[in-house]
Amino acid sequence: MFDLATNKTALDKTQDEGRQGEAFAPFAVDLNAYQKLFYIESYGCQMNFADSEVVAAILQKEGFGATRNLEEADLIFINTCSIREKAEQTVRKRLTEFRKLKEQKRGMLVGVLGCMAERLKSKFLEEEKLVDLVVGPDAYRSLPGLVAEAEGGQKAVNVLLSREETYSDIAPVRLDSNGVSAYVSIMRGCNNMCSFCVVPFTRGRERSRDANSIIHECTSLFQEGYKEVTLLGQNVDSYYYQDSNNNSAPITFAILLESVAMISPQLRVRFSTSHPKDITDEVLQTMARNNNICKYIHLPVQSGSTRVLQLMNRTYTREWYMSKVDRIREIMPDCGISSDVITGFCTEEERDHLDTISIMEYSKYDFSYMFFYSERPGTLAQRRYVDDIPEPTKKRRLAEIVSIQNRLSLESNKRDLGKRFEVLIEGDSKKNSNDWKGRSSQNKVIVFPKGDRELNKGDYVTVHVTDCTQATLLGEIV
């Protein structure tokens, strides 16, 4: 599937273009060289995980070393999520566990980063007495200074949001990476104001990162041996970058996507998340044209009811969404589609719920993330509507859509029986080290026996699907 013949030329071309970008020198990791060690734990979306890698880079540059061992850390950071009440509860619980460590180890500092830091600001220091630093998503460059302040006994807070910050010149230090796939942040913030969502408040205004720095980072990753990049943003289809220093044409998401795909046919490109209102034919055609852009779109529907979608401020109707699904299938018949669904949003009636079920059936999602509505302070929905669906009803509806999705996932996997897929090997299967685990372009996990072939993680291999469960395809190397 991958065109090895064109590999070199495409890479060389991008390297030339990338020279205009900033330096991306990796930091040497020699634990003895560091005086202080930091530990960082991340919650929430992929963007938060990507941010933790930026934080690690900033701290390493200042002479702090990363550790995976909580007990030996001098600084503990928790990168938090506010998307649902439950996410915040998990963080609070974790903070009380850190308290015990703090009591044992004098001088140890605990810092709260990310969306919950931004939402609660200095209230965090008052509510959670054990926290020493509170740093919002746009203030990570100030971390070294804040750590120094906290070490001096002051409570350190910086939750300023920025209209410009994209950390574009910072080469993330890959944490917990399998060495095959990496996340690359292409934009920050969100301008959409979906009524249920806290993200515009915790992450601020949307801004796109310098395209040169993105291509440069992806090229470096490929040279280091990575085989897959996932371009990240809350709404990647609204990516738009105009270089302020020259008069070249603006770069849209479709152009960026193709430029990253040009780095090498051996580098897979994924992206997340697409807003149904913004995904264009141009993006779909770009995907169809490039073998190494994975045929998989995460297209969150949230609800199948036009009335509820309107209250959610999603700006599309049920019919518009369905026509997007049709268009994707028309341009890429083999494209995987997944979704996010919220049940029990304000005023949701049984017939709205049935509309959600029918749109799931219509879209034949391979996979969905499903949640019941959790009211978030400060959001449009919290200010305008009553959270009026009783919890048992929310949970019953959630259970119903989960069981429907389980069936759809199994049906989708059954449609793949007998087919062959190009699989990127990610490593050993969790259950059995005699098996490889990898992913198809459609983002489905495939497990298959290693056999006698000399293969490594990061290799591509063609796999024939012989069996499946609801979550996994099983197969054999061809």
Binding site for ligand SAH (CB under 6 A): 83-84, 196-197, 234-235, 273, 275, 300, 302, 340, 342, 371, 373-374, 376
Q: How many residues does the chain have?
A: 478
Q: Is 198 in the site for ligand F3S (CB under 6 A)?
A: yes
Q: How far is the CB of 10 from ligand SAH (least distance, A)?
A: 31
Query: Does the CA dihedral 379-385-386-389 come out positive or negative?
Result: negative
Question: With CB cut-offs between 5 and 8 Å by kind, which of ligand SF4, ligand F3S, ligand SAH, none does residue 200 bind?
Answer: ligand SF4
Question: With CB cut-offs between 5 and 8 Å by kind, which of ligand SAH, ligand F3S, ligand SF4, none does residue 82 bind?
Answer: ligand F3S
CA distances from 96 to 22, 103, 112, 151 (A): 41, 11, 13, 21
> What residues form DSSP beta bridges with 133?
111, 156
Q: Given the complex with ligand SF4, which of 18 and 114 has the nearer CB atom?
A: 114
Question: Token digits for 52?
Answer: 């933790």
Q: What is 177-224 written as a DSSP string?
A: --SSEEEEE-EE------TT--HHHHH-S-EEPPHHHHHHHHHHHHHT
Q: How far is the CB of 345 from ligand SF4 (least distance, A)?
A: 12
Cβ partners under 8 Å of residue 310, min gap 6? none
Question: With CB cut-offs between 5 and 8 Å by kind, which of ligand SF4, ligand SAH, ligand F3S, none does residue 405 bind?
Answer: none
Residue choice 52, 166, 185, 202 for contact with ligand F3S (CB under 6 A): 202
Distance, in Å, from the CA atom of 194 to the CA atom of 190, rounded to the nearest integer, reads 10
Question: Going residue by residue from 111 to 140, which x/- string records binding to ligand F3S, judged by CB under 6 A?
Answer: ---xx-------------------------
Q: How far is the CB of 201 from ligand SF4 (least distance, A)?
A: 9
Q: Given the complex with ligand F3S, which of 47 and 446 has the nearer CB atom?
A: 47
> What residues form DSSP beta bridges with 208?
187
Cβ partners under 8 Å of residue 323, min gap 6? none
Q: How far is the CB of 416 from ligand SAH (least distance, A)?
A: 26
Residue choice 10, 37, 199, 398 for contact with ligand F3S (CB under 6 A): 199
| Torsion, CA 301, CA 303, CA 306, CA 312, rounded to 10 | -90
Q: Given the complex with ligand SAH, which of 284 and 389 has the nearer CB atom?
A: 389
Query: Does the CA dihedral 420-425-429-435 come out positive or negative?
Result: positive
Cβ partners under 8 Å of residue 360, min gap 6? 301, 304, 339, 341, 368, 401, 404, 405, 408
Return the ∠ at Cα 170 (arms to 201 and 178), rounded to 5°: 90
From the list 44-52, 97-105, 251-259, 265-273, the region that binds ligand F3S by CB under 6 A is: 44-52
Measured in whole angstroms, how far is the alpha carbon of residue 283 from the centre of its chain? Answer: 19
Q: How many residues bind ligand F3S (CB under 6 A)?
A: 13
DSSP conformation class of 10: H
Residue choice 11, 45, 112, 261 for contact with ligand F3S (CB under 6 A): 45
CA distances from 327 to 279, 281, 301, 320, 333 (A): 11, 8, 15, 10, 9
> What residues form DSSP beta bridges with 368?
339
Q: How far is the CB of 168 from ligand SF4 (least distance, A)?
A: 21
Q: How far is the CB of 71 from ligand F3S (least distance, A)?
A: 26
Nearest to 46 by CA among 75, 83, 21, 77: 83
Q: Given the complex with ligand SF4, which of 209 and 227 has the nearer CB atom?
A: 209
The most distant pair of C-alpha atoms in the chain lies apart, rounded to whole Å, by: 64
Q: How far is the CB of 452 from ligand SAH (least distance, A)?
A: 43
Report strand pairing: 268-272 vs 367-372. Answer: unpaired
Q: Given the complex with ligand SAH, which of 62 and 340 has the nearer CB atom?
A: 340
Question: With CB cut-offs between 5 and 8 Å by kind, which of ligand SAH, ligand F3S, ligand SF4, none does residue 376 bind?
Answer: ligand SAH
Stretch 50-109 residues interacting with ligand F3S (CB under 6 A): 81-83
Q: Given the complex with ligand F3S, which of 82 and 219 has the nearer CB atom?
A: 82
Question: Going residue by residue from 359 to 398, which x/- string records binding to ligand F3S, judged by CB under 6 A?
Answer: ----------------------------------------
Distance, in Å, from the CA atom of 165 to the CA atom of 208, rounded to the nearest integer, reads 9
**Which residue minimizes CB distance to ligand F3S?**
44
Q: How far is the CB of 383 from ligand SAH (least distance, A)?
A: 13
* Contacts to ligand SF4 by CB under 6 A: 190, 192-194, 197, 199-200, 234-235, 275
Report the interface residues with ligand F3S, using CB under 6 A: 44-45, 47-48, 81-83, 114-115, 198-199, 202-203
